[in-house]
Structure 1
Amino acid sequence: MAYDYKRFAYVPPPGLSMSEPRHKAIIVGAGPVGLAMALELANRGVASVLLDDSDVVSTGSRAMCWSKRSLELFDRLGIADKVLQMGMSWSVGRVCHGDDEIFSFDLAAEPGHRMPPFVNLQQYHVEQLLAERALAEPQIDLRFRNRVTGLDQDDAGAHVTVRTPDGTYGLSADYLIACDGARSTIRAMLDLDFEGDLFEERFLIADIEMEADFPPERWFWFQPSFHDGQSALLHRQADNIYRIDLQLGPHADPGHECKPETVIPRIEKVVGPDFELDWVSIFSFQCRRLRDFVHGRVIFAGDSAHVVAPFGARGGNSGLQDVDNLGWKLAAVLHGDAPASLIDSYNRERVQAADENLLHSSRATRFITPANGAERLFRDQVLALARKAPFARGWVNAGRLSTPCIYATSAPDDARLPEISCPGAVAPDAPQGEGWLLTALGRGVVLLAVNCEPPTGLDLPVLVAEVNDLVAERYLGRAGRALYLVRPDQVIAARWVEADARQIRKALAALWEGRP
């Protein structure tokens, strides 16, 4: 394979020879979500033990399309610059019907954001960068080849049995965070199952290495001539690796379809003969989730909590948004700054986000792989109309691309202020002098004052925004002034055109108690 998969060192854990002290947090699974979770907690002063049953990063590109919001989280975790340097930034998507392009879109049309809309970088690169950061972080005890084989919990915490090459040992912590993927062993130990839709359609995904001049764009084909009238997707990645997804139909034999002598002729029809096959996998779609993400002292995040069809880059990105939501809440509870009810708000908000992702992914899957009859007739008519009529292009669903969920809330609001900065939404970025607004907001609760003086008597950090055209557009709208209460995950908790200290304290209390 093109990537040099180097194994991480196994170190016998102290629990093999002595009883370990109780930990604040145990994280199971050192994929992107688990590693990001450990780093986010460390940023907030919480030490953790991170357990993984492997000693190498994941094989193949897998999650490879990282959204603007994920890049903003990577910036807090210290790897954004390297991801931007190594990856392929893109904003243009092209949609084809047959062999003809019927329309394109450009996600970078809106100016004034530090991060690009998307960067393509293979999951193994991202895991390597996160793992290196975690290994250098004193508050993270990253243990490879440590497999969780047993789990108990009580009102005070969670307790696991861990198997290593040198034997078994036990660990206890206030909370356990399950980030161990779609086949989660922690989920199985609690006898929990997903709810939702299983799709019979099978897809081939392949990484190929080739030197080509394909631009860093998203190409999607409905019924191309080079692939028996089914759908296809092409993305450029780092290191001259290209990702190709090919629809195979519900009756494809995975064993046969994974064979190089089967895969290579299929890909040759797409890009020609000059490539090397790097990695291949066959998958079926799921759009499912746990009913609840919090079960006592065990919290689920990422694919262990929810799985979606890959169209729209909603898998890895939604897992990182789980981290963004949970990290500050769990840290506040563990530090004694907030009641445990704050963690319940993680469940409420991220279940809402998962349902939104599942809805978008299910609709995309049905549009891409319609059933015979009305579904197929509708899809084909929309594609035909989109060739001629721009208004129909919004109906073409080749995967609605990942954006952060706007959480449902009854927090104070004022309709004179712009919709883009409503309570429950991530604060929109904008230039601030030589820097950026999201960077200036930092990692704590902040009162953002836009074109006004904040009220006195508040024990709360205040950021007075530099008002420029973009700040005025995104934060003022028809109002001439505004106050925004911003959470540690940069989600807007409440906003006012005018407010006194009492109103702000009331909203702040609701924030820390986890009330919607």
Structure 2
Amino acid sequence: MALDLSYRRSADQDAAQPALHPVVVVGAGPVGLSLAIDLAQRGQRVVVLDADAALSVGSRAICFAKRTLEIFDALGVGEAMVARGVSWNVGRVFHGQRSLYSFNLLPEPGHQRPAFINLQQYVVEQLLVERAIALGVDLRWMNCVTAVEQHGAYVQLGIDTPDGPYTLQALYLAACDGARSTVRERMGLSWTGRQFQDRFLIADVRIDEDLFPDGATERWFWFDPPFHPGGSVLLHKQPGYVWRIDFQLGWGADPEAERQPDAIIPRVKAMLKLGFGRDIPFSLEWASVYTFACQRMARFVHGRVLFAGDAAHRVSPFGARGANSGIQDADNLGWKLDAVLRGRASTALLASYGTEREAAADENLRNSTRSTDFITPKSDASRVLRDAVLHLARRHRFAQRLVNSGRLSSPSAYVDSPLSTLAADEARFDGGPVPGAPIADAPLLARSGERQWLLAALRQAARGRCTLLLWGAMPDWLQAFDLGVIAVGGSWLDETGLATRRFDAQPGTAYLLRPDLHVAARWRSLRPEQLAEALSTLTGHRAAAPRGAVSDAPEHAMEQHP
């Protein structure tokens, strides 16, 4: 069934005074929708403003990583995403026509989700919009932000619509409106980084057969292939027999000329003929020519305005770090906004969003810049070095590790997070996720006979709260804490031993997990005062505020809050 994204007049447009909402999200792309769904599931009322009234077109972002799929699971759309997408774990790298090596991004068993799925951005957006509507998110299409003003206890927005302008207020504003962020522009903010002088062509082509001899779905990347000498080419399979091909064009290419079918079709024909040894029928579905940059804002938190996704940072497409890192921004921000709005945490928790996700952006920018510099050398010396590495990689494994066709997206560990507690017995761990790191999945078996995945069991136990993952029976004193609890060896069994190995667990081991399933603290043996201290560090509160309280809000905000 087609989505109805038409403009509808809101009651706020007829209000005598500007309506105040707990959270307004600007931008109905994957990042803004993910944040809105996260907050709605926590009971927050969310307004989403989008200047357009359509889903994206073409493939655009297509590679969604395992961590993102796990976040989609938490948002209630993971199963639908995987069912619609093309799952893959393996990539191959070629130099010329010769295969240099292959890699497996998920070489071990015991994970519910694959390393990646390929799924067109417009399908992802459709599934997210459907979920947002089901949760009652107030989606407002053709609502363009024209002004942003901070007034201490709230943010005031000027909005233009087909019916004319109106004013809206928000306790917090989340700017998820992309690389050309209107919110960032209206606030007079900028970003710094590198603009890369290169152009690439995306061609989505329909090929009604499997290209790979063994039927496997893989990521293929060529350096200097015979069908595109001097450049690079990337191939991904999408759902519906559509294949995405990225051709490096060079800075001197004419973007308008290169996106014409007369220029694209010969390139694709040559690739299929020389890359796969035969003429293969195809049709052109969509094409675009793009340039890219590696940039970020100096700060993501500006008072009550918080920036996420491409509005805060953007990277080159090599490594699928754009949409994946943006959705991880939303995952980091959602539970923190909810906790602050309810008075369960101080506003310092929102400052930690900036600390953690700015560091994650720096990590993504470093990896993305290095990939880009390897794929598109900017000097004769760097090209000589790159080509030497490629030649050595044909015979030597050490050189294969130096080949960079895009370091693929992986979740960030918040190693310097102010929310983490380093226990005195930290040195007694020989492995497992450290404080600040995300956790890995593993299969579990309930004593009732139910089979479940660890991440799913933790989400069910948490109900939006922190959780304690422990090995052994649950002590009676834990009932005094508002926590979800998963007891391995108690109500849950680790039949395969994978969970125990992945967490370097022993009897008595305990992990305190944040709502986004990053580690807050871990202990070999846990005492009540240690848990209380770690929770205090996590929230900034010695005692929880009354349920439903809103910190630093004008009086009429209380009527708006659930």
Q: 1:393 aligns with which of 375, 395, 400?
A: 400
Equivalent residue for 1:415?
427
Identity between Structure 1 and Structure 2 (%): 48
Paired with 1:6 and 1:82, the residues of 2 have a C-alpha distance of 16
1:203 and 1:284 in contact (8 A); partners too: yes
- Of 419, 439, 447 in structure 1, the residue corresponding to residue 468 of structure 2 is 447
Q: Do the aligned partners of 1:341 and 1:514 also contact (CA within 8 Å) in 2?
A: no
Task: Give the aligned partner of residue 276 of structure 2.
Answer: none
For 1:204 and 1:419, locate their aligned partners in 2 and report how far apart those are by CA, in whole Å: 43
Q: Residue 389 of structure 1 aligns to which amino acid in structure 2?
A: H
CA contact (8 A) 2:50 2:144 kept: yes
Give RMSD over aligned pairs.
Answer: 1.7
Deviation at 1:374, TM superposition (A): 2.4
- The Cα of 1:142 is off from its aligned counterpart by 0.4
Amino acid at match of 1:432: L
CA distance in 2, matches of 1:399, 1:514: 42
2:173 matched to which residue of 1? 176
Q: Which moved more, 1:220-229 or 1:5-14?
A: 5-14
Length-normalised TM-score, structure 1: 0.96
Q: Secondary structure at the match of 2:410?
A: coil
Aligned equivalents of 1:158, 1:418: Cα separation in 2 = 47
- Structure 1 Cα separation of the partners of residues 220 and 430 of structure 2: 33
Quote the Cα distance in structure 1 between the aligned partners of 2:103 and 2:536.
43
Structure-2 separation of matches of 1:155 and 1:199: 39
Compute the displacement of 1:390 (Å).
1.5
Measured in 1, the distance between the counterparts of 2:355 and 2:297 equals: 12
Instruction: Provide the rounded CA distance (Å) in 2 between the counterparts of 1:398 and 1:365.
Output: 8
Rounded to whole Å, the distance in 1 between the matches of 2:431 and 2:183 is 40
The one-letter code of the counterpart of 1:378 is L
Cα deviation for residue 228 of structure 1 reads 2.1
Letter in 1 for 2:522: R
Counterpart Cα distance in 2 of 1:335 and 1:371: 51
Separation in 2 of the partners of 1:5 and 1:265?
35
Matched, 1:356 2:377: no
Does structure 2 conserve the Cα–Cα contact (< 8 Å) formed by 1:68 and 1:117? yes
**480-489 or 417-426, larger mean C-alpha shift:** 417-426
Q: Which residue of 1 aligns with 2:29?
A: 31
1:92-131 matches, cutoff 5 A: 92-131=90-129
Instruction: Return the offset for 1:456.
Output: 2.1
In structure 2, stretches of 5+ residues that fail to align are: 273-278, 446-450, 543-562
Query: 2: distance between equivalents of 1:194 and 1:36?
Result: 24
Query: What is the CA–CA distance in structure 1 between the aligned matches of 2:421 and 2:63, rounded to whole Å?
Result: 33
Cα distance in structure 2, aligned partners of 1:447 and 1:247: 48
**Which one of the candidate residues 405, 423, 431 is aligned to 2:443?**
431
Pick one of 77, 80, 83 that aligns with 1:82.
80
- Quote how far apart the aligned CAs of 1:9 are: 2.2
CA contact (8 A) 1:450 1:476 kept: no
Structure 1 pair 89–347 and aligned structure 2 pair: CA distance change class (3 A):
same
Partners of 1:82 and 1:235 in 2: CA distance: 20
CA distance in structure 1 between the aligned counterparts of 2:341 and 2:386, rounded to whole angstroms: 50
Q: What is the match of residue 244 of structure 1?
A: 245
Contact 2:177–2:183 (Cα < 8 Å) also in 1: yes
One-letter code aligned to 1:200: Q
In structure 2, C-alpha distance between the alignment counterparts of 1:341 and 1:145, rounded to whole Å: 34
Number of residue pairs matched? 510
Summarize the alignment of residues 99-498 of structure 1 with structure 2, pairs less than 5 Å apart: 99-138=97-136, 140-214=137-211, 215-271=216-272, 272=279, 274-409=281-416, 411-413=421-423, 414-433=426-445, 434-442=451-459, 443-451=464-472, 453-454=474-475, 456=477, 458-461=480-483, 462-465=485-488, 466-468=493-495, 469-476=497-504, 479-498=506-525
Residue 481 of structure 1: how far off its partner (Å): 3.8
Letter paired with 1:8 = L
Contact 1:455 / 1:500 at 8 angstroms: preserved in 2? no
Displacement of 1:260 in angstroms is 1.3
SS of equivalent to 1:105: strand
User: 4+ residue runs of structure 1 moved beyond 4 angstroms?
Assistant: 4-7, 452-455
